[in-house]
Structure 1
């Protein structure tokens, strides 16, 4: 019996990797009311917010499977997905209560980087987000961005980083100039 279940899980994973989302759709339809009750008890979410959370978690799960971060289907998929939802809710709580406060210097550095990052074009921002924050492979980045192949995605990422570096250098020069610091004063 266990081997049959393992084979079914492996087949489901394979189907998801090639874009078949039938498992996710049926999971959502079969479990959304149960998930909403759990979310109401655990996090005081109304049903609409719970359904949105479940959809978000299912998309995250699909992305993990599609880009190879999840290589083996969890034996208890429901428990795995509820755990992902729990992590999302805890992170949101920590963020909203400010319990993850950063030292002032680090907070300023991150705000500066975010401001500079936003000066990039939307395609550059998206490419860097896919690669660095979602951990997409170059093949997946190429597919998402419409590039011919992984090599083109790799070259585009290098261009984006070069642009960001130039923006950072320009900003640093302006900051140093405004502060009255000359390059030879060091």
Structure 2
């Protein structure tokens, strides 16, 4: 069996939910990844292992929802690149926020956590992962993109009403 056939089989097994390839990849590469992360980004082993798990989950999501249609020939390099991007984004977002903005965000996060789980997922998929309505519908099991759009609007309405309620009660 050639390499392209092996990659195609891995992709197919991931799409049907078989994550054994990712588990094996993690077990076989976590030490090497931790050394790379320590040398390149001064990351402790525990943090490196967590980063690798995060990247593998994100990679699985890409395969499962169809964003990745073909495995890269050098999967390790691809995943290390994803990890590097995660660290770069984290480095850019660690600057201190002004106190007023930080408290506003904490307030909104508190309201967001009061929403039901489905609303939280819909809003996270749309706003934080950048999914279009078709992809949100697929992830949530909705009939089509119109249902996803209606659900998102309803969730935003709930968030807005929570905000109005909390401001009128002085919380």
TM-score, L = length of structure 2:
0.75
Aligned counterparts, 1:85-100, within 5 A: 85-96=83-94, 98=95
Q: Which has the larger radius of gyration?
A: 1
For structure 1, the residue ranges without an aligned partner over 5 or more in a row are 143-147, 175-186
Deviations 1:86-131 (A, max 9, x none): 11112222222x2xx88x8xx94x9747634642414222321133
Query: For residue 177 of structure 1, what is the aligned residue in structure 2?
Result: none
Give the distance between the partners of 2:5 and 2:103, measured in 1 at CA. 48
Instruction: Look up the SS of the partner of 2:123 in the other structure.
Output: helix
Measured after TM superposition, the shift of residue 166 of structure 1 is 4.1
Give 1:158-173 correspondences, 5 Å limit: 158-167=153-162, 170=164
CA offset at residue 25 of structure 1?
A: 0.8
Aligned equivalents of 1:59, 1:40: Cα separation in 2:
21
Distance 1:141 1:131 in 2: 11
- Equivalent residue number for residue 33 of structure 1: 31
- Alignment of 1:119 onto 2:111: yes
Q: 1:52 to 1:73 in 2, by over 3 A?
A: same
Where does residue 62 of structure 1 map in the other structure?
A: 60
Which residue of 129, 147, 159 maps to 2:124? 129
Q: Shift of residue 167 of structure 1?
A: 4.9
Q: 2 CA distance for matches of 1:32 and 1:88? A: 17
Q: CA deviation at 1:42?
A: 0.8
What is the number of residues matched between the two proteins?
A: 158
Look up the match of 1:78.
Answer: 76
State the 1:33 CA deviation: 0.9
Verify the 8 A CA contact 1:118 1:125 in the aligned structure 2. no
Tell me the distance in 2 between the aligned counterparts of 1:74 and 1:87: 17
* Cα displacement (A) at 1:79: 0.3
